[in-house]
Structure 1
């Protein structure tokens, strides 16, 4: 398990840092985010999660993530209903789905920290309880389930390589999504 997990961390470290650097979530962390930027951040995440989660579910049979649905609920609560947008993203096997899942499920810790900080953003007072950036520890369940699954398996070098490549592709998917601005935002 450590070989797979270590390799995924190693291979994605720079992309992860780069993605966090210019992300709208930083405005939550410094309490400067406004409603338009927050709506945009939710939309960007929705597009990325929706594109990746449907592909992961094709190969990981017991995969269940509600991130896309929670984002959809939050966007609906902000009056955004036109969510028919996808970015091209494909998984071709279980190893690739695991690489994508590493990014999707691994985001839970950052999301939890962002959620805890959200209540300090005065420009967002009145948005109500958020589903995606809730700050709730239960958002870590998917990550813990992912780690548990990795512990049950041995992986070939080819599978590790495939998973690492797809994890990088998944960070690039988020990079593309974070460049989007919805029409009604």
Structure 2
């Protein structure tokens, strides 16, 4: 299954992202509003440079099965930017995906961040200093987070054959590399 292949082969990127965002501080309840602004701004830049490209690279078959209209996150994180008094920016980096498979790999990173974001939002809502924060991006699927992740993984695992695993992994690595290096 490609979802397991991706999980195993992107673990070091995932760990690097957690380190970059000081994720350990979240669960120790010492995560600050400045830490949160950093994580939101970086995720915003990732979405700004990738979401439209991912969605436009996916064929109609995938668009329908993945319910792309329900997975748009850029407008949500833009609300977070506004609430945190952070500036919107223009896309200034080249980030391209060659085909459906690379786009699916990049989407794996975004959907995974949504899954983790739900946990982050719940934890931060119990942390001092976050009582006035609205988690538009991290709370985007609300109680449907698990089912949205499950349906995404199901499409991945049923539609991607082993011969395309490396292309999917390539897309995931492209987006993780971008996320880890943009600022």
Distance 1:140 1:47 in 2: 25
Give TM-score, length-normalised by structure 2: 0.83
Give TM-score, length-normalised by structure 1: 0.82
Matched residues, number? 174
Instruction: State whether structure 2 residue 16 is matched by structure 1 residue 40.
Output: no
**Contact 2:26–2:124 (Cα < 8 Å) also in 1:** yes
Query: For 1:7-156, what aligned pairs fall within 5 Å after superposition?
Result: 7-60=5-58, 61=60, 62=63, 63-64=68-69, 65-127=71-133, 129-134=134-139, 136-156=142-162
Alpha-carbon distance, 1:120 to partner? 2.0
For residue 159 of structure 2, give the secondary structure of its aligned residue in structure 1.
coil
Q: Corresponding residue for 1:183?
A: none
Give CA deviations for 1:7-38 in whole Å, capped at 9, x if unaligned. 21221112212221231444333222332332
Alpha-carbon distance, 1:107 to partner? 1.8
Alpha-carbon distance, 1:86 to partner? 4.2
The unaligned stretches of length 5 or more in structure 1 are: 181-185
Distance 2:52 2:94 in 1: 11
Please report the RMSD computed on the Cα atoms of aligned residues, expressed in angstroms.
Answer: 2.2
Distance 1:50 1:141 in 2: 25
